């Protein structure tokens, strides 16, 4: 089977990241984040996000999300999230483990995004010793349905969260794709809209393995360095993660990569939607395309070597994902293969 379009995790690293790794590999450097690449990264990210911040690195999205939540939620805390969020469906209980037992409170909606009005209605238990305490709201940008929170949606959620003395966490596994979709600045989509902590993903958009946990309020860091070390994410040769992230956010590499991925998704989405028996499950707003495919079409594509991803959205739709290196000819070949079925 061919994993083409199955995920943006199947792609290679982009040239800029590989060049940075090769350069970082020359000579010796201080360990555990005391290297020059890690120092430069903090400065670079502060410039990119237009504010002083604290940054810690990890090698997986699961670790970065779980670690971020461990800094925000007490062991008796409650974390509000969407029912389709990866912290709820794809991280094997890591958030509960890293937080020491905080409870996830999954929410439902029709578009895959948490709605501010629903959040307002569901928050309860503050001060009641018998229930877990409202602590964090976690949103994903772009979210698991491929749609994107508008800035006002983020502001409304953050306003409610802060009014209830809760923190706001953003899972930014596909953060750059959302930036491109909205055409806004990183600052506007995060701390200026009320986000307290961001897990910035690079792995899906051109890095080998590089994720960043960014605190926009340094006073919220607390004991996080110890949690970071205890989790095994404080790498001795941290320069190889820092150099990736430096290359990724410098010279608009992440924007260039995301623009290409989003553009390819749009072409694929429009092509699939052209077929009368294929229906889009959600609007295509980033680099993920969700469609309702008849079973015979799924079997047909699989018979030609495509590994059609049926695991997302609890099997309610299939997912096609484009990436920084998706080729137009691959999209054309897929659409042509579908057209042949209906000739």
pLDDT digit string, tens, across residues 84-136: 999 999 999 999 999 999 999 999 987 889 999 999 999 999 999 999 999 99
Q: What is the pLDDT of residues 274-315, one digit of tens each?
A: 998 899 999 999 999 999 998 888 888 989 888 888 877 666
Domain count, the chain: 2
Q: Are residues 246 and 293 in the same domain?
A: no
Q: Are residues 42 and 171 in the same domain?
A: yes
The owner of tokens 């395309």 is: 289
Residue 10 placed within a domain: no
Residue 34 has pLDDT above 90, yes or no: yes
CA angle 303, 317, 338 (to 5 degrees): 40
> Does the reported pTM lie above 0.85?
yes
Q: What is the pLDDT of residue 343?
A: 66
Residue ending a domain, among 230, 252, 274, is 252
The contacts of residue 223 (CB under 8 Å, 6+ apart) are: 71
Q: Are residues 268 and 160 in the same domain?
A: no
Alpha-helix runs per DSSP H in 79-208: 86-89, 94-99, 116-122, 151-163, 175-182, 186-189
Domain range for 301: 255-341
Residue 195 placed within a domain: yes
Confidence of residue 235 (pLDDT cuts 50, 70, 90): very high
The contacts of residue 219 (CB under 8 Å, 6+ apart) are: none
Q: What is the pLDDT of residue 109?
A: 85
Residue 29 placed within a domain: yes
How much is the mean pLDDT over the chain? 95
The structure tokens listed for 205 are 């958009």
Residue ending a domain, among 252, 283, 302, is 252
Residue 214 placed within a domain: yes
Residue ending a domain, among 236, 252, 268, is 252
Q: What is the pLDDT of residue 304?
A: 87
Q: Are residues 166 and 260 in the same domain?
A: no
Ranges 106-120, 162-176, 211-225, 311-325: which has the least confidence: 311-325
Q: What is the pLDDT of residue 314?
A: 65
Residue 190's CATH number: 3.40.640.10
Residue 316 has pLDDT above 80, yes or no: no
Q: Which of 88, 283, 100, 102 is nearest to 181 (CA)?
A: 283
Q: What is the pLDDT of residues 257-269, one digit of tens each?
A: 999 999 999 999 9
Q: Are residues 68 and 213 in the same domain?
A: yes
Q: What is the pLDDT of residue 251?
A: 96
Q: What is the pLDDT of residue 271?
A: 96
Residue 66 placed within a domain: yes
Q: Are residues 233 and 192 in the same domain?
A: yes
Q: Are residues 69 and 150 in the same domain?
A: yes
Residue 4 placed within a domain: no
Residue 1 has pLDDT above 80, yes or no: no
Q: Are residues 41 and 56 in the same domain?
A: yes
Residues of the chain above pLDDT 70, percent: 99
Q: Are residues 321 and 288 in the same domain?
A: yes
Q: What is the pLDDT of residue 232?
A: 96
Q: Are residues 210 and 299 in the same domain?
A: no
Residue 127 placed within a domain: yes
Residue 6 placed within a domain: no
Q: What is the pLDDT of residue 14?
A: 98
Q: For residue 187, give Cα distances in angstroms to 195, 249, 270.
A: 10, 14, 31
Q: Are residues 272 and 243 in the same domain?
A: no
CA angle 163, 216, 55 (to 5 degrees): 145
Q: Are residues 183 and 106 in the same domain?
A: yes
Residue 317's CATH number: 3.90.1150.10
């Amino acid at each position: 089977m061919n994993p083409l379009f199955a995920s943006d995790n199947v792609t290679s690293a982009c040239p800029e990241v590989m060049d940075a790794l090769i350069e970082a590999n020359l000579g010796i450097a201080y360990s555990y984040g005391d290297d020059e690449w890690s120092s430069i990264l903090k400065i670079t990210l502060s410039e990119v996000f237009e504010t002083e911040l604290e940054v810690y690195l990890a090698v997986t999205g699961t670790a970065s999300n779980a670690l971020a939540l461990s800094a925000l939620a007490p062991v008796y805390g409650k974390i509000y999230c969407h029912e389709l969020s990866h912290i709820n469906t794809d991280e094997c209980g890591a958030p509960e483990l890293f937080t020491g037992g905080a409870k996830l409170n999954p929410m439902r909606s029709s578009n895959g995004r948490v709605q501010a009005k629903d959040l307002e209605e569901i928050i309860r238990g503050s001060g009641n010793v018998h229930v877990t305490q409202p602590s964090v709201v976690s949103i994903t940008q772009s979210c698991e349905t491929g749609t994107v929170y508008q800035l006002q949606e983020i502001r409304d959620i953050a306003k409610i969260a802060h009014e209830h003395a809760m923190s706001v966490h953003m899972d930014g596994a596909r953060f750059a794709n959302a930036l491109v979709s909205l055409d806004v600045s990183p600052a506007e989509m995060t701390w200026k809209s009320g986000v307290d902590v961001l897990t910035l993903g690079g792995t899906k958009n051109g890095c080998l393995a590089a994720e960043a946990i960014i605190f926009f309020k340094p006073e919220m860091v607390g004991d996080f360095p110890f949690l970071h070390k205890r989790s095994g994410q404080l790498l001795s040769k941290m320069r190889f993660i820092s150099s990736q992230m430096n290359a990724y956010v410098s010279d608009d590499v992440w924007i260039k990569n995301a623009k290409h991925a989003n553009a390819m998704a749009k072409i694929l989405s429009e092509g699939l939607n052209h077929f009368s028996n294929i229906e889009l499950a959600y609007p295509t707003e980033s680099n993920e395309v969700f469609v309702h495919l008849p079973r015979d079409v799924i079997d047909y594509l699989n018979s030609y070597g495509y590994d059609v991803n049926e695991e997302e959205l609890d099997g309610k739709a299939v997912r096609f994902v484009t990436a920084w290196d998706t080729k137009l000819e691959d999209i054309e070949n897929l659409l042509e293969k579908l057209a042949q079925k209906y000739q």
